Amino acid sequence: MDSKLVAVLGPTNTGKTHLAIERMCAHSSGMIGFPLRLLAREVYDRVVAIKGAGEVGLITGEEKILPPKARWLLCTAESMPMDRDVAFLALDEAQIGADPERGHVFTDRMLHARGREETMILGSESLGGMVRALMPKAEITKRPRFSTLSYAGAKKLSRLPKRSAIVAFSAEEVYAVAEMLRRARGGAAVVMGALSPRTRNAQVAMFQAGEVDYLVATDAIGMGLNMDLSHVAFASLNKFDGHRQRRLTLSEMAQIAGRAGRHQRDGTFGSLGGEEMFRPEEVEAIEEHRFPRIEHLYWRDGDPDVSTLSALIAALEARPERPQLRAAPEAVDLAVLKRLADDPLVAERARHPVRVARLWEACGLPDFRKVGPEHHAKTVARIYRHLTEGAGHIPTDWFAAEIARLDEVGGDIPALGGRIAAARTWAYIAHRADWLADPKHWAARTEALEEKLSDALHKKLTDRFVDRRTTVLMREIGADPAMLDVAVADDGVVSVEDEPIGRLDGFAFTVDPSARVGERKRLLAAAERRLPKERARRAQALVDAPDKEFVLTAEPIGISWRGTTVARLVPGRALLEPRVIPDPAIGLLTATDRERVSQRVENWLTVTLQRYLSPLIAMATTGGDLFTPPRVRALLAPLAASGGSIERAAMDAPLNALDADDRRILRAAGLTVGTLDLFDARLLKPEPLRLIAALRAVRAKSMMPALPAPGTTVTDAPEPLPGFRKFGAKQVRIDLIERIARALHDLRKARLPFIPDPALATSFGVDARTFDHILRACGFRAESGGNWVWRSRPRAAPPKPAPQSPHFAALKGWASGV
């Protein structure tokens, strides 16, 4: 084809790909072949933004977007439709023709893929000799690098600058470096050839967005991935190339190192660790972009003879005639073909050129799983058998079952990676237009599966190798504390740069328990720089808060505000005067705020006690008033000290000493003088009882008992409760006991025997055993025949006289004698 042929050669960061995109878009139609699917996808998105989705197509082994009127195509080199007539055609990274594994594909495209009006070959400057020898009419244009690439020497991991990539050459080494970066610097993005394009893109996007400052990769980053790198560090200069362990070639070193620096920004490269890995001559060559010329390219017949199976194998094994070309090593597709040629069933079916071509198509299925030709050949054989049976389609049930088997996002990183590789196999099959009865449906299904698995793998990699807290804190070291973006959510979660680092409960900050020991000091320092303002805001909110936002808590006995304990109660001068001790976190406030918060909490307690315990407060006040009659004080003082109820037997002496005026004072105060207890019924309501239980527990320095539900009059609670009296296994509220006692006295006639109605106990909600206990306690005695007799109200035993000293006895006798 008589068209303009241009070879644009130069190192990385020379704008070669950008130039090709511009030239393609200037033509009426065009196509570019790329070495990577993700690179083709990246350029596809750029061209769609220029030309529109209906005018641009994407063709790769596992993805095909081809609108009917598409005029510009972005493809992987292997997927370029060679029969497509386009005005412009370009091949990117053409120096891959020297690669033993894929080189023959790039060599074939260099020699035979042409645009109607213009063809552009993009590659390394080392390709110049091959271009002159194989394409003598080509116009060679050399482009200089936009920025300077210089050697920075060996650096320890802790000394690497931000925006660095560390390159390793095995998954184990990549994972080890990423783990060290997670611990020391917050983590890294991970890029490996074994990852799906979607996962690689997600990891690169995380690095590009600044979520992490480091990237750990294999040499996959050396092939056209555009990233904002300032430094490339080599963890090693040796790799296993599929056959042996060898040192990187100078061109491979330069291709990877050249990813540092973009556009006008300079970049550096070096080694990881304390030892120099690069030889002086290698450093000089990389900095000056001087590399050995490529002496040969790998070749294989790109349009082999498919008349017979043996003719196909012979064509693929043929040696090139031109001295610049070398026969490609046996690739996986040819190895699989040769194995299947020995299969009698395959050989029987591949007797016609159409069937031979079909077999060669099937052998082109990439070994995404990297299982080797022997195992991969079994999969290809099964597919070929299906393609040569019936309607020539792969059975839908079998294909669907294989897809369903992979639809699982559990497992570790290797397990997910294996499923993605298998999913890519089925995606490749789904994009063969005539291999399935409904290829569009299955193409969409496999794409969705790969995206689902890739997203899960991205999350696994991020969870394992990225510690966002450490990343944020390391990034902010040395920054102005006032500029730190510290936020406190409504639920108390404290975040720095949107990364949770702990909780602020009330006024106390707690570091996230998942943080490692080495992080805690940094987390505390980052939080405490900005939390004083938040604490001051909360202090003001507490001072302004309505009473309903405060609650008396049981464990510990104290006061909480919005669910956070702000003070505890300890014994004071009297039951109703506990001391309020502010929570230690209140000490983090300023002196003024501490005083205001403490005063607000004490005021709430005073108001609350006044609201619910006013009868008890009045009782204590009257009992301590010197103008109150002494006999009344003798009764009210102990009654108030016990919480508003006391056993009558213990107060018989003061009661017997009361006169009519004294009793009027007690009745006016609301006191009930019951059969068994003295109490104020107003203090037996749920909230007063709860407050009294708390105050008594504070006074006794004990735990607050668990109170029964409001309205309960009989309970099985084992601990003594305020306002209740124990009878056997039950506790009965003292006002109910008084009602039962009055009912019993209404039934009896003088001291005559009577039989209590069994329904009486039921009506009061007590069982027969407890009812018997109450009868006896109230002065009744059981007789034969179920009769009960009123004996008398139980009285306290007279106090025993205090023992006298024999000296006082003698003195008493002497005095009487006088």
Amino acid making up residue 298: Y
pLDDT computed for residue 801 by the predictor? 47
Find, among 218, 250, 246, the residue nearest to 234 by Cα: 218
| Cα dist from 396 to 40, 392, 441, 649, 712, whole Å | 30, 12, 11, 92, 69
Query: Is it true that the peptide bond before 556 is cis, omega within 30 degrees of 0?
Result: yes
Regions in the chain scoring below 50 on pLDDT? 477-483, 795-803, 805-818
pLDDT computed for residue 606 by the predictor? 95
CATH topology of domain 4-142: Rossmann fold (3.40.50)
Beta bridge partners of 671: 680
pLDDT computed for residue 187 by the predictor? 84
Q: Calculate the CA dihedral of residues 236, 242, 247, 249 and round it to 10 degrees.
A: -110
Are domains 4-142 and 149-288 of this chain identical in fold? yes
Beta bridge partners of 790: 780
CA angle, residues 530, 531, 536, in degrees to nearest 5:
120
Whether 304 and 313 have beta carbons less than 8 Å apart is answered as no
Residue 250 CB neighbours (<10 A) = 17
Give the start-to-end residue ranges of the domains of the chain: 4-142, 149-288, 331-461, 468-529, 549-733, 740-818
pLDDT computed for residue 62 by the predictor? 79
Cα–Cα distance measured from residue 74 to residue 37, given in angstroms and rounded to the nearest whole number: 9
Find, among 57, 67, 72, the residue nearest to 27 by Cα: 72
pLDDT computed for residue 185 by the predictor? 77
pLDDT computed for residue 73 by the predictor? 97
DSSP readout, 784-817?
GGG-EEE-----PPPPPPPPPPHHHHHHHHHHHH
Question: What is residue 224's three-state secondary structure?
Answer: coil
Q: What count of Cα atoms within 13 Å lies in the side-chain half-sphere of residue 440?
A: 2
Q: Encode 116-127: b = buried (16+ Cβ within 10 Å), e = exposed.
A: bbbbbbbbbbbb
CATH topology of domain 149-288: Rossmann fold (3.40.50)
Whether 686 and 711 have beta carbons less than 8 Å apart is answered as yes
Q: Locate tokens 């990117």: which residue?
A: 92
